[in-house]
Amino acid sequence: MLNMMTFRFLIGLLVYFFMCPLSGQDGTIEVINSSFEGIPRKGVDNFVLNGWRDCGLVFFPGETPPDVHPDNRAWENVSMPSDGNTYVGLVVRDNDSWESITQRLSTPIKADKCYTFSIYLMRSSQYVSLTRRSIELKGQNKMENYQEPVVLRIWGGSGFCNQRELLAESVPIRNDEWAEYTFDIKPGFNHRYFTLEAFYKTPVLFPYNGHILIDNASDIVIKPCPGEEPEEIIAAAEPAQKKVVVPPHKRRKKTEPESVKPSANTDVTVTEPKPKPDKPKIMVELDRKKLKKGQVFKIKNLYFPADKASLDQRSYQVLDEIYTFLEYYRDIVIEIGGHTNGRCQDSFCDELSEDRAKLVATYLSQKGISPSRLQFKGYGKRNLIASDKTAFGRQKNQRVEIKILDFDTTG
C-alpha cells in the first residue's frame, strides 16, 4: 500500500509531465536569456548575465570582460536595445585577443540535423576604449574608436567555451542600425554548449580594434533538411534588412550608363579592356606603404586534419584571397612558414610543418603565382607563441604564417 506522501508525490509527478512538455520535444532548443537582459555595466569587473558565461576567463584571463549596454554612455555608445532593456557588446583587440560568451543548452544540438537561429546585430558609430597594444608596447593609455568591422562566429562544443565545431559565421557587421541575421546550421557532431564570438574578418594581416553589438536572439529551431543539403557546414546568410531604414537624404541616386549605338551601316567590334583585379579583401584595411621586409602574418581560417598535411575544404576561401593578394601586388616575394605545437617528436614536427607549408605554396603556384615568389619552410615546434598546457595554446602554436621576404618586379 502506498502511503499518502508517496501517493501525492506520484500524482504531482504525473501532473508535471502532462502539463510541462520536455524541453526540445517540439524540436526547439531554448536559448536562455536570449534578449541578454541584465544590469548595465562596463566590462571592467566580472561579467554577470543570467544564462551566459565569459570565455575571456578561459582564453584571455588578463583582459576585461564583455560589456552590458546601455550604461550611461559607456565607451561613448548611445545605441538603444533592439529588444528589452539591455544588450551585449563584444570586441576584438589589436593585441590578438577577442571576446565571446557561452551557455549550456537545455538539450543538445544533434549531428546531421538542420537548425535555424537568428540574432540582431549592429555596429555603433562610437565605441571608444583603450587600445591594448599601445598599453603593452608603449605604456601609454591611448584611446581609440573600435570601429573596424568584425564578424559573429557561432561555435558548438562539449563544454563551456569549447570550440569543437564552427557552426556558422556572419558577414562583417557594418550596419549602424539593428538588423536580423539568420543562420542555417547543420552540425557534424552533437553539441551541448553554444558560444557566440566576435572575431576578425579573416584573413587578417594585423589584428585590429573592432566591436559588434548583439541582442534579441531566437531559440535554436530544428527544420527539415533539404534533399540536396551539402556536407559542409552552412555559412551565415546575408542579413535581413527589414529593420534597417536608410534616410532619404542618404540614399544613392541610380544612374544609368550612357549607351553607345553604332551606325546601321558600320560593323563595330567592341573589345573589352582587361579589368584590373579587384583589390584583395586581405588588404582592404591595410596601407600598402606600411609593408616591410621581415613582417610576419598568421593565416587564419586555415584547417588541417590532425597530424596530416592535407587541406580541409574550408581552407580554400582564405587561400584564394591570399592568391588574389599576391596577384594584385605582383612585386611581393613571400615565405610560407609551417609551425606545430610541442606535442610531437622533433623529426615529425619538422616534417609535418614543412609538408603543410609546401601544400600552401603548391596551391598558390597552381593558381598562377610564380614559384620564384613563393618559398616555404617548416619550423616544427621551435617557435611556440603560447603555452602548450592548454588546448587553446596548442591551437595557436599550430599555425601557418606568411613572411614578406622581398619586393621584386620580376614576378
Given a contact cutoff of 8 angstroms between Cβ atoms, the answer to whether 96 and 204 are in contact is no
pLDDT of residue 69: 92
For residue 72, what is the DSSP state?
S
Residue 268, classified by CB atoms within 10 Å of its CB into exposed (0-12), middle (13-18) or buried (19+), is: exposed
Percent of the chain with pLDDT over 90: 35
> Which architecture characterizes domain 28-244 according to CATH?
Sandwich (2.60)
Cell digits of residue 346: 622533433
Give the best-scoring range by mean pLDDT among 159-163, 212-216, 260-264, 379-383: 212-216
Q: pLDDT for 151-181, tens place per residue? A: 999 999 999 999 889 999 999 999 999 999 9
pLDDT of residue 306: 65
pLDDT at 253 over 60: no
Stronger pLDDT, 40 or 195, i.e. the higher one: 195
C-alpha–C-alpha distance, residues 290 and 376, integer Å: 23
pTM of the model: 0.55
Given a contact cutoff of 8 angstroms between Cβ atoms, the answer to whether 304 and 344 are in contact is no
3-state secondary structure of 319: helix
Q: What is the mean pLDDT of residues 20-41?
A: 77
Alpha-carbon torsion 314, 316, 319, 321, what sign? Answer: negative
Beta strands at 150-157 and 143-145: parallel, antiparallel or unpaired: unpaired
For residue 219, what is the DSSP state?
P
Task: Give the confidence band of 7 by pLDDT, cuts at 50, 70, 90.
Answer: low
Enumerate the CATH 3.30.1330.60 domain ranges in the chain, comma separated: 281-407
pLDDT at 404 over 60: yes
- Supply the mean pLDDT for the chain: 78
3-state secondary structure of 168: strand
Instruction: Give 87-149 as a 3 state SS string.
Output: EEEEEECCCCCECEEEEEEEEEECCCCEEEEEEEEECCCCCEEECHHHHHHHCCCCEEECCEC
C-alpha–C-alpha distance, residues 76 and 238, integer Å: 28
Stronger pLDDT, 133 or 384, i.e. the higher one: 384
For every residue of 21-61, DSSP letters joined together read PPTTTTSEE--TTTT--S--B-TTS---BTTBEETHHHH-T
pLDDT at 255 over 60: no
pLDDT of residue 85: 93
Q: pLDDT for 60-107, tens place per residue? A: 888 889 999 987 667 788 899 999 999 999 999 988 899 999 999 999
Cell digits of residue 205: 594581416
Cell digits of residue 266: 558600320
45 residue type, one letter: D
pLDDT at 287 over 80: no
The closest of 216, 229, 198, 201 to 102, measured between CA atoms, is 198
pLDDT of residue 280: 57
Task: Give the confidence band of 269 by pLDDT, cuts at 50, 70, 90.
Answer: very low
Q: pLDDT for 310-353, tens place per residue? A: 776 677 888 888 888 888 888 889 999 999 888 888 888 899 88
CATH code given to domain 281-407: 3.30.1330.60
Task: Give the confidence band of 239 by pLDDT, cuts at 50, 70, 90.
Answer: very low
Task: Give the confidence band of 261 by pLDDT, cuts at 50, 70, 90.
Answer: very low
Task: Give the confidence band of 54 by pLDDT, cuts at 50, 70, 90.
Answer: very high
> Treating both helix axes as pointing N-terminal to C-terminal, what angle do 316-328 and 346-367 enclose, rounded to 10 degrees?
60
pLDDT of residue 43: 72
Enumerate the CATH 2.60.120.260 domain ranges in the chain, comma separated: 28-244
Q: pLDDT for 358-376, tens place per residue? A: 989 988 988 889 989 999 9
Cell digits of residue 338: 609551417
